[in-house]
Amino acid sequence: MASKSRLLKEARECAKAPADLGISLQPDERNIHTWRGHIRGPSGTPFEGGTFELTLSVPQNYPLFPPSVRFKTKIFHPNVHFKTGEICLDILKGAWTPAWTLLAVCQAISALMADPAPDSPLNCDAGNLLRGGDLRGYASMARCYTLDLASAPARQLS
């Protein structure tokens, strides 16, 4: 299957990814269409120092269709649903192209963490904080959740 060969290729590329990228990605041993990733909180953001786990579900007709990605670790972010972990990102929906790889998707999510888009929020409270200009409140809350929920040792990134 075309998706399987491409996923195998991507798995090899992910294994060779540099550690300073802050992203660790690997497929499930029993099912290559299920991946698990860990993203280190970008430095200079309230998420710094935290490690966030993601689950990626790859469809059979990948790369023609985008993967389903969600945060397994709870995160306070306007574009991430706090309870379900659903991510509102254009490349995972209408703007998807086959040129995107799973590693590139994780990089885009890392960039989204550093640069949120409060105009299309899945977390209304985070969106309201940013749209109201209360950066102090947003950073304070994000930092609190990062230290409470995402500060487990980054074993995957060691």
Partner 1 sequence: MLLFAEAPPGLTLTGVLGLAAVLYGFYHLKAGPGNSGQARQRDRRQQAQASRPPGAQHQSESLQAGFPQGQLPQGTSAAKQAVGSPLQAQLAGIRKVTISAPGVLLKELLPHELQDGASLRPAAARVLAEMLHSTAVYIMAHVSDDIGEATVRGALEAGGLVGKGPGQILPHRILFCSTLAGKEALVRQLEPELHIDAHEHTVKSLQRFMPQLLLISARQTASASVAYKNVAYAASLEAAFHTGQ
Partner 2 sequence: MPVHPTSLLAFWAEVVALCCSVPCRYFFSRRRCDKGDDCRFSHAAAAGSELERFEEPCMFYARGRCTEGDFCRFQHIRTEDNRVPAADRRTPSECLDRLQEGLESLSLGQSTGPDGCAPEALGEAESQLQEQLHAECEAQPLCEEFTASGSCREGDDCSKAHGNWCSSCSKYALHPISRLAYLNHLGECGARVRHSRTNMDASRAVTCSICLEVVLDNPDKGQRKFGLLDCQHSFCLTCIRQWRSNTDDQVDLESAVRTCPICRCTSHFVTPSNTWPANDEEKAAIRLAYMSRLAKIDCRNFDFGRGICPFGSSCFYRHADRDGTPMAQQVRWYNTADGVRKSLQPTLLSSFLENDRRFFNLRR
Beta bridge partners, 34, equal 57
Q: 56, 87, 106, 129: which one contacts partner 1 (CB under 8 A)?
A: 129
88 classed as catalytic: yes
Q: 94, 136, 153, 155: which one contacts partner 2 (CB under 8 A)?
A: 94
Q: Which is nearer to partner 2, 88 or 149 (CB)?
A: 88
Q: 32, 114, 141, 157: which one contacts partner 1 (CB under 8 A)?
A: 141
Minimum CB separation of residue 98 from partner 2 in Å reads: 4
Minimum CB separation of residue 86 from partner 2 in Å reads: 15
Q: Which is nearer to partner 2, 69 or 142 (CB)?
A: 69
Q: In sequence order, which ranges of the chain are alpha helices (DSSP H)?
A: 2-15, 102-114, 124-131, 135-149
Answer yes or no whether residue 82 interacts with partner 2 by CB under 8 A: no
Return phi, psi of residue 33, to 5°: -90, 5
Write down the catalytic residue from 88, 106, 124, 144: 88
Helix (H, G, I), strand (E, B) or coil at 52: strand
| Residue 152 CB partners (closer than 8 Å, separation 6+) | 51
Answer yes or no whether residue 4 interacts with partner 2 by CB under 8 A: no
Helix (H, G, I), strand (E, B) or coil at 70: strand
Beta bridge partners, 87, equal 80
